[in-house]
């Protein structure tokens, strides 16, 4: 272990060896990394543990500096483990460079089938006694981390003292098709709100999409298509995302001797915003997190999009309607345009066709839950459907919800200590 200091906090690197397949504990092992954080003034004290599960899938735990965002509030009461879920951050990586070590696409897909919430929870249950001596701990799950927390309640509630969920109550039984069928209308509303706020962006977006369709530029090997541009709509699910999108669009074109062209700066910004080089598991496993049972996900977002023709970029150009951005969706073309994903196209196809996903949630156990649980449900959340979330909340005994439209999906970060403070009050019976 290696410890070091930042303002107000002592950090310690922790590494854990866990089975790739928890059904075969003596088989291949991988490494999972966690960053312990404790208030500098309490570093010598025995404190209860809180483990943070980041959203995603495919993102390592957020790299805080000092006590920013919610972390300072947590450190008043806990030692915090910021867990890099398997395959992310400093844990054993899974990407285009490392996955060929597994073999071909079939072997890679089989390997990645062990990177969902069921395996993440079993990692946690191996790590917990090593840190707590066997005592239960508190879980804070953001977005996909909340999905993991509900799996935790289903599979190993004995390991939990309390559960705090922010923007991450999954449907217990919805297929991916149901998730995206509910999502596209929410995204359309978010886009309409953006254009109402910044009406000048209607023509800008249409002009950018037309330029991309005609010229098909590349940036560092990344093909910039109208569909890639549309995927910037994922920004509209965060608190300041609409404003950031506007600033990105406002300087898209420059005058050149050959007429107006998309600037190098804009093309680079578009590539950076849409590349999966830093989080390929997000693309590979995004639909798989909804997989349960024998029905394949089968590129659900792409298939369901056909039910919403207003999202077609070409149709918007010819019909004169505003270009609609898209949201948290993964499509087959992502694996054609992005060099970080291109070598993994066949692997992604195999995952999309998989028909033997384990069931993730146990409604009977959840109905008998005795662990204190509190969940922030962001009423206008672009990423997680409110109706699905509230139906799940009603199915978990004792769960207390805080339904608010004060925040977007990133409320636990954007709201500083307020969101975590509210959830702690709910699980402690103080609110």
Mean pLDDT of the region 102-124: 98
Q: Are 161 and 136 in contact (CB under 8 A)?
A: yes
Residues 265 and 123 in one domain: no
pLDDT value, residue 159: 98
Out of 91, 143, 171, 231, pick the active-site residue: 143
Domain boundary among 320, 352, 384: 352
Model confidence at 325, pLDDT cuts 50, 70, 90, reads very high
Over the stretch 167-182, which tens digit does the pLDDT of each residue have?
Answer: 999 999 999 999 999 9
Mean pLDDT of the chain: 96
Over the stretch 209-230, which tens digit does the pLDDT of each residue have?
Answer: 999 999 999 999 999 999 999 9
Who wins on pLDDT, 313 or 369?
Answer: 369
- Give the whole-number percent of the chain exceeding pLDDT 70: 100
Report DSSP state, residue 403: E
pTM above 0.85, yes or no: yes
Supply the CATH number for residue 380's domain. Answer: 3.40.50.1820
Mean pLDDT of the region 180-205: 97
Give dist(CA 41, CA 263) in Å, integer. Answer: 50
Give dist(CA 242, CA 194) in Å, integer. Answer: 6
pLDDT value, residue 315: 81
Q: Are 402 and 379 in contact (CB under 8 A)?
A: no
**The token pair that represents 410 in the structure block:** 């990133």
Residues 187 and 258 in one domain: yes
Mean pLDDT of the region 234-263: 96
* Helix/strand/coil for 397: coil
pLDDT value, residue 255: 94
Domain boundary among 352, 376, 403: 352
Residue 140 belongs to domain spanning: 2-173+361-427
Query: What total of structural domains would you count in the chain?
Result: 2
**Beta strands 160-166 and 373-378, pairing class:** parallel
| CA-to-CA separations, 41 to 7, 65, 120, 252, 340, in angstroms, rounded | 11, 17, 31, 48, 43
Give dist(CA 342, CA 334) in Å, integer. Answer: 8
Residues 187 and 326 in one domain: yes
Over the stretch 119-153, which tens digit does the pLDDT of each residue have?
Answer: 999 999 999 999 999 999 999 999 999 999 999 99
Q: Are 66 and 94 in contact (CB under 8 A)?
A: no
Residues 327 and 243 in one domain: yes
Residues 328 and 402 in one domain: no
Give dist(CA 381, CA 216) in Å, integer. Answer: 33
Q: Is the pLDDT of residue 319 over 80?
A: no
Q: Is the pLDDT of residue 163 over 90?
A: yes
Give dist(CA 351, CA 369) in Å, integer. Answer: 32
CB-hemisphere CA count at 13 Å for 268? 3
Residues 165 and 181 in one domain: no
Cα torsion through 8, 14, 20, 22, rounded to 10: -90
Burial class (CB in 10 A: 0-12, 13-18, 19+), 23: exposed
Mean pLDDT of the region 394-398: 98
Mean pLDDT of the region 114-120: 98
Over the stretch 7-56, which tens digit does the pLDDT of each residue have?
Answer: 999 999 999 999 999 999 999 999 999 999 999 999 999 999 999 999 99
Residues 206 and 344 in one domain: yes
pLDDT value, residue 290: 97
Residues 151 and 227 in one domain: no
Residues 250 and 337 in one domain: yes
Strand order in the sheet with 49-53: 2-6, 9-19, 29-39, 79-84, 49-53, 137-142, 160-166, 373-378, 400-404
Residues 136 and 250 in one domain: no
- Please compute Rg for the chain using Cα positions: 22
pLDDT value, residue 318: 79
- Give the whole-number percent of the chain exceeding pLDDT 90: 96
**Beta strands 29-39 and 79-84, pairing class:** antiparallel
Who wins on pLDDT, 317 or 79?
Answer: 79
Who wins on pLDDT, 223 or 416?
Answer: 223
Q: Is the pLDDT of residue 377 over 80?
A: yes
Mean pLDDT of the region 278-287: 98
Mean pLDDT of the region 155-172: 98
**Annotated catalytic residue 143:** yes
Domain boundary among 332, 352, 372: 352
**Annotated catalytic residue 264:** no
Residues 62 and 107 in one domain: yes
pLDDT value, residue 431: 81
Out of 177, 381, 409, 410, pick the active-site residue: 409
Model confidence at 416, pLDDT cuts 50, 70, 90, reads confident
Q: Is the pLDDT of residue 317 over 90?
A: no
**Annotated catalytic residue 263:** no
Model confidence at 117, pLDDT cuts 50, 70, 90, reads very high
Residues 168 and 55 in one domain: yes
């Amino acid at each position: 272990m290696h410890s070091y200091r930042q303002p107000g906090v002592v950090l310690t690197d922790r590494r854990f060896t866990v089975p790739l397949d928890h059904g075969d504990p003596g088989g291949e092992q991988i490494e999972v990394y966690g960053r312990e954080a404790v208030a500098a003034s309490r570093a010598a004290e025995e404190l209860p543990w809180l483990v943070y599960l980041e959203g995603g899938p495919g993102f390592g735990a957020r790299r805080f500096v000092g006590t920013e965002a919610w972390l300072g509030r947590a450190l008043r009461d806990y030692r915090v483990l910021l867990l890099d879920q398997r395959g992310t951050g400093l844990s054993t990586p899974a990407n285009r460079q490392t996955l060929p070590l597994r073999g071909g696409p079939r072997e890679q897909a089989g390997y990645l089938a062990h990177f969902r919430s069921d395996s993440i929870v079993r990692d946690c249950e191996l790590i917990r006694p090593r840190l707590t001596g066997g005592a239960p701990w508190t879980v804070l799950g953001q977005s996909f981390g909340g999905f993991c927390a509900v799996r935790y309640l289903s599979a190993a509630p004995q390991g939990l003292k309390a559960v705090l969920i922010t923007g991450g109550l999954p449907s217990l039984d919805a297929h991916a098709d149901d998730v995206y069928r509910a999502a596209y209308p929410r995204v359309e509303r978010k886009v309409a709100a953006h254009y109402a706020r910044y009406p000048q962006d209607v023509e800008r977006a249409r002009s950018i999409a037309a330029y991309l369709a005609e010229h098909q530029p590349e940036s560092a090997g990344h093909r910039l298509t109208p569909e890639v541009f549309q995927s910037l709509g994922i920004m509209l699910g965060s608190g300041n995302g609409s404003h950031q999108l506007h600033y990105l669009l406002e300087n898209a074109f420059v005058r050149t001797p050959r007429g107006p062209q998309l600037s190098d700066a804009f093309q680079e910004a578009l590539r950076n915003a849409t590349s999966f080089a830093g989080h390929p598991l997000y693309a590979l496993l995004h639909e798989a997190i909804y997989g349960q049972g024998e029905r394949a996900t089968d590129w659900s977002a792409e298939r369901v999009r056909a039910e919403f023709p207003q999202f077609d970029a070409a149709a918007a150009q010819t019909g004169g309607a505003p270009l609609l951005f898209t949201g948290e969706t993964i499509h087959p073309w992502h694996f054609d345009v992005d060099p970080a994903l291109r070598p993994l196209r066949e692997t992604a196809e195999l995952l999309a066709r998989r028909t033997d996903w384990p069931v993730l949630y146990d409604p009977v156990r959840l109905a008998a839950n005795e662990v204190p649980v509190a969940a922030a449900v962001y009423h206008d959340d672009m990423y997680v459907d409110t109706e699905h979330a509230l139906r799940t909340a009603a199915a978990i005994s004792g769960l207390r919800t805080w339904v608010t439209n004060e925040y977007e999906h990133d409320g636990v970060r954007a709201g500083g200590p307020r969101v975590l403070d509210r959830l702690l009050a709910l699980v402690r019976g103080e609110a």
